[in-house]
Amino acid sequence: MLLTRYGRQLAVIFVLIGALALGGAFLVYTNPPTEQVTETVYDQQVGTETTTSAVVTGETDLYPQGETLEDSPVYFLGATPNLTVRTVTDVPEGEAVTVSQRVTLRHRASRGGEVFWSTERLLAATEEQTTDGSVATESTVDMRDVNRTAANRQAEVGRVGAFETLIRVEVAYETANYSEELTATMPVVITDQVYWFDGSAAANRTHTETTRREVTGSPNTTLAGGLGLFGVIALLAAVRVGIVSRRGVDVDAIETELTRTRHEEWISRGDLPTSSDKQFISIDTLEDLVDIAIDSNKRVIYDEEYEAYGVVDSDIVYYYVEREEFEQWVGM
């Protein structure tokens, strides 16, 4: 019944649903998800470190003559008076980097954290461009002179303030992407007999640059496949509905057959009277005719010749027909 009455509309609806589903599948497959990711353009480190060494040249029973002491926790003025200070700065290898290194020896006096006197002695200063990834600067200083200068200046300062000696390293570098500076200090502790360094002159810095870009992921094939399959099913359903609706279905015949099956116990086969002395009353549906039979405690007669149903009640014949031949026969 629905297919007969609304078959065309249902077919159009199924076509629309199928087209939308297939279109959605196409969009899902051709427009995969995207996301923003962060990528590192470069991640480079620059570092500087200063080391010390001294060759044994003085008389001593502690070390053999000519031995080189490196980064010793303590040096003896009499045995190793000449100190070599070596500063090495590591930069990115494989690209041109300009590096300037300046190493100084400083004496200064301070009070309450504020410096009121200072002096500086340049030990080494270099500037060069390298692609090897490393630059070294080396200088030698007589620590006996350093001790004399420190002792004299400290005697003048007395108890007015704190006196200190230190080695200061200043490094400036420049690449194609950035230019920065590094600074490090290394305090010197010196007496009449020994000297040592309280800590190390080292510094480093990391340079990082990132960028964001859009990355296309994989399409959701499960969703796209599901939508596509649903679309195909909908289109097939539209075709099927269209074919059935175009063939046509006799709705009245279907209703009559259902009623006949449901009330089979009230229907008998036989011949309906067709004489003109009878009053014939047409009933719209077999269902209504069966209700008349039930109410009057009669049976419904089915005449196969005319494909007509009737209830005979005295001179009245209530009838329902599927074809017009019966009405023509009785002169209706």
Instruction: Output the tens digit of pLDDT for each of the chain's 332 residues.
Output: 455 566 677 778 878 888 898 888 888 888 888 888 888 777 889 999 999 999 999 999 999 999 999 999 999 999 999 999 999 999 999 899 999 999 999 999 999 989 999 999 999 999 999 999 999 999 999 999 999 999 999 999 988 999 999 999 999 999 988 899 999 999 999 999 999 999 888 999 998 888 888 888 888 889 888 888 888 888 887 787 777 666 555 556 667 777 778 888 888 888 888 777 788 888 888 888 889 888 888 888 888 887 888 898 888 888 888 766 555 555 55
Closest CA to 203 of 188, 184, 187: 184
Q: Would you list the DSSP string of 2-53? A: HHHHHHHHHHHHHHHHHHHHHHHHHHHHHS--EEEEEEEEEEEEEEEEEEEE
pLDDT at 1: 47
3-state class of 273 per DSSP?
coil
Residue 271 has a pLDDT of 83
Task: Decide if 4 contacts 251 (C-beta within 8 A).
Answer: yes
Whether 107 contacts 118, CB under 8 Å: yes
SS3 311: strand
Q: Are 63 and 78 in contact (CB under 8 A)?
A: no
Q: How many CB atoms lie within 10 A of CB 288?
A: 12
- Rounded to whole angstroms, the Cα distance separating 3 from 318 reads 32
Q: Tell which phi-psi region holds residue 21, choosing left (phi > 0), alpha (psi between -120 and 50) or beta.
A: alpha
Say if pTM beats, i.e. exceeds, 0.85: no
Counting every residue written for the chain, the total comes to 332
Query: What is the rounded distance in angstroms from the CA atom of residue 298 to the CA atom of residue 310?
Result: 10
Do 80 and 55 form a contact (C-beta atoms < 8 A)?
yes
A 10 A CB-CB count for 31 gives 11
| 52 vs 84: CA distance, rounded Å | 6
Sign (positive/negative) of CA torsion 91, 94, 97, 103? positive
